[in-house]
Amino acid sequence: MSKLLLFSSLLLALAACSATTKKLPTNDVRQYPAPSLDLEQANRLAELPLHCAETEFPNKLSQTLGSAADLKTPSELHPAFYGCFDWHSAVHGHWSMVALLKKFPKIESAPALRSILQKHITKEHIEQEVEYFHGKYNKSYERTYGWAWLLKLAEELHTWDDPLARELETNLQPLTDLIVGKFMDFLPKLHYPIRVGEHPNTAFGMTFAYDYAKTSGDEGLKTLIEKRAKYFYAGDAGCPIGWEPGGFDFLSPCLEEMDIMRRVLPRDSFLLWMDDFLPQLKAPDYDLAVGEISDRTDGKLVHLDGVNFSRAWCLYGLANEYPEYSHLKNIANKHVQYSLPNLVGDSYEGGHWLGSFAIYALVLCQK
């Protein structure tokens, strides 16, 4: 009798699964307008780094204390990058300011943006930032997310044709050199890539570092990243993008991996690799649901706005380089359009960092 009941239960479960499958929605076939980074949008987004760059508290130091002498305020520890809740957000907040000034020299907030950059990125402040990284317990501080954004800031300064950029780039150079050295030291020792949707993601860190190396002409760093990316990812297949996003993700493990391999592999090799890694992306009717946010006042749950922007920049990059993937721009547009309206005037939990993600996605959309 018990076997009969078990068999009946199994049949009912299979029937329920079948019924559920039939009720799944079809792919989203709507066309989403491409978002625009125009002067109006730039003025709006500039409010975010302007607000947080000198907002010292609340602050998450992520500090390992060696003694009571290490108990100092954020601005004492990090005179260049003390605002925006944490060090890496302060760094990419400064990147946002440079990116907006470079693209829109006449932006309304230009005097304020230039003033903050000049006030924070001084020779003396950067010397103190470098000294912090030399501390006994700080060797791996901000590895590799903060490192990556520091090099993105350095790259943006390098490509900005403005006398202020030359001053800031020179001041930042000792910290830039230190971070390059940290990548050079760390990547050969990392046996296994870190495949998460948050800060330590190896593919993300290498992608921004690779862009810096290529732009600045650092062949040593560029060659190392090419070598390590192929070592980590060349044999990967069937990435489970259907498992994404995780509840706190602001990066897509699958798409970040695709993004670095797009850079380091030649065209034919990359397309063959993609056929194994994410074959479904080639289908014209492929769809990817946005990351939905239930509470933007929760500092972790609002990460999913970030995953929408970072997914978008990965998809824009792929579609811009490979016409066979041009249909993915609509998915990227959908992701940006979902999260972009919520940034300015929303909770500080997201506002202190999401502007940078939005700006980077919008810049790639227009390339």
Q: Taking the domains of the chain in order of start, what are their residue ranges?
A: 238-367
Enclosing H/E stretch for 273: helix 267-277
pLDDT value at position 16?
38
C-alpha distances in Å from residue 201, one per residue of 48, 149, 206, 219, 294: 25, 13, 9, 23, 24
- For 342-347, which contacts have Cβ atoms below 8 Å and span 24 or more sequence positions? 342/293, 342/296, 342/305, 343/45, 343/48, 343/305, 344/44, 344/45, 344/47, 344/48, 346/296, 347/296, 347/297, 347/302
Closest residue by Cα to residue 339 from 91, 32, 59: 32
Closest residue by Cα to residue 168 from 180, 153, 183, 178: 153
C-alpha distances in Å from residue 277, one per residue of 192, 236, 296, 354: 18, 6, 33, 29
Block means of pLDDT (10 residues each) for the chain, 367 residues, are: 41 37 53 96 97 98 96 98 98 98 97 98 98 97 98 98 98 99 98 98 99 98 98 98 98 99 98 98 97 96 98 98 98 98 91 97 95
pLDDT value at position 297?
95
In whole angstroms, what separates CA 93 from the centre of its chain?
Answer: 12
Taking the C-alpha atoms of residue 30 and residue 32, their distance in angstroms, rounded to an integer, is 6
C-alpha distances in Å from residue 128, one per residue of 12, 89, 123, 125, 363: 67, 18, 9, 5, 32
In whole angstroms, what separates CA 153 from the centre of its chain?
Answer: 13
pLDDT value at position 25?
43
Estimate the share of the chain in helix, then strand, then coil, as percent rounded to the nearest 5: 65, 0, 35
- CB atoms inside a 10 Å sphere around CB 175: 25
Which positions ≥6 away from 151 have C-beta within 8 Å? 176, 179, 180, 208, 209, 211, 212
pLDDT value at position 339?
97
Read out DSSP for 50-117? HHHTT---S-------SSGGG---HHHH-SSS--SSSHHHHHHHHHHHHHHHHH-TT-TTHHHHHHHH
Closest residue by Cα to residue 252 from 201, 328, 299: 201
pLDDT value at position 28?
77
Whether residue 212 contacts residue 155, with contact meaning beta carbons closer than 8 Å, is answered with yes
Taking the C-alpha atoms of residue 161 and residue 46, their distance in angstroms, rounded to an integer, is 20
Closest residue by Cα to residue 272 from 287, 256, 283, 261: 261
Amino acid code (one letter) for 189: K
pLDDT value at position 8?
42
